[in-house]
Amino acid sequence: MTNDGIPSKWLEEYANNVTKLIFASVYSMMDDAAVLKKRGYIMGGNLGEGSYAKVKSAFSERLKFDVAVKIIDRKKAPLDFLERFLPREIDILAKVNHRSIIKTYEIFETSDGKVYIVMELGVQGDLLEFIKSKGAMPEDIARKMFRQLCAAIKYCHDSDIVHRDLKCENLLLDKDYHIKLSDFGFSKRLTRDEDGKIIHSKTFCGSAAYAAPEVLQGIPYEPKIYDMWSLGVILYIMVCGSMPYDDSNIRKMLRLQKEHRVHFPKSKNLTMECKDLIYRMLQPDVARRLHIDDVLSHVWMQPPKPKCVSTTSVMKNGESSRTECDHKPNHKSEVQVSSKSESKQAGHSRLEVAEGVGKLGEIVKPDNLADDVVLPQFENTEI
């Protein structure tokens, strides 16, 4: 018996168990390093770890650059994950190929039940870390990055693939700060009925802060439309530096979502077009929520037009002809704010969108969406 009244046998047993866990962890690391070494990878540091999976950095001797290796231990993983989610993830990762999606270089499995997924490394970290460090983005920077993300989602949706876990933590940044969509752990290929209609999903996927109201309510949902809500949350975070809803109180959050309340901080001075796009993606009515082509064709998503300069030319008869560039947009504003929108309701201002005002422009093809991102100094904002 110790001075604290704890039986010595219990302490001894506890110490033995801790020692076993430490040795098991060290052995596992040595084992992973040996396996990767045989495949031509020199294992580096730890990038993340869960109950049955971890992500390591490694240097590829063949590719001559660093990669990320996701290691999944089948012995520790739940049966539902092994039977449903892992096969889907492996199938989709092996087939997707888009410059705004993390590349998968190799997938292999060992005889002891470990799956190794070798992927492109997001050397600049993820979008959440970036925004926590730099703060809210200016709209022109956010537009370029968001277009890259939307190009990846369009590629997936056109292939009947849905992500179902879109969030800032799953958006990695390469050396040039280009968006790279990652983590397809909840992704799936869509199935359709005899009439070609998409069969709704019932599985709750993703994080509550990014989840659409129909998902939070446990209503069978159209997965593509679910992805669109999450995109709206992501764009809000990019330009505001904070979450659109407080997920510490799910019931209150759901009520605000269903009432279509979106509060935009006045200090951010967001353009009406930017607020309109976010508001339309955070639409609780799934029949009215924007699809990916609608987002890509939205006025805010179009590249800014170059500044126009007035010119004067002399015609043959000696008369001068002055040509003025039109600085005004060819469309009406997508958003009209009524006096109601300026009033505070439960701490949130409400944005009123006029129905049928303005037309969406032409759809921008994803191939034209890889803009170089030049990063300015952002304001520091807590998230």
Does residue 114 have a known ligand-binding role? Answer: no
Q: Which of 126, 165, 227, 276 is catalytic?
A: 165
DSSP output for 100-163: TB--EEEEEE-TTSEEEEEEE--TT-BHHHHHHHH-SPPHHHHHHHHHHHHHHHHHHHHTTEE-
The tokens of 144 are what? 């370029």
Write the CB contacts of 181 (distance below 8 Å, at least 6 apart in sequence): 100, 101, 102, 149, 152, 153, 163, 166, 170, 171, 172
Task: Judge whether 310 and 325 are in contact, CB under 8 Å.
Answer: yes
Identify whether 246 is a catalytic site residue: no
Task: Tell me the C-alpha distance between 211 and 334, whole Å.
Answer: 25
What's the DSSP call for residue 318? S
- Looking up tokens 């700060």 gives 177
Task: Judge whether 178 and 369 are in contact, CB under 8 Å.
Answer: no
Catalytic residues: 165
Q: Which residues are annotated as a binding site?
A: 70
Q: Which residues are annotated as a binding site for ATP?
A: 70
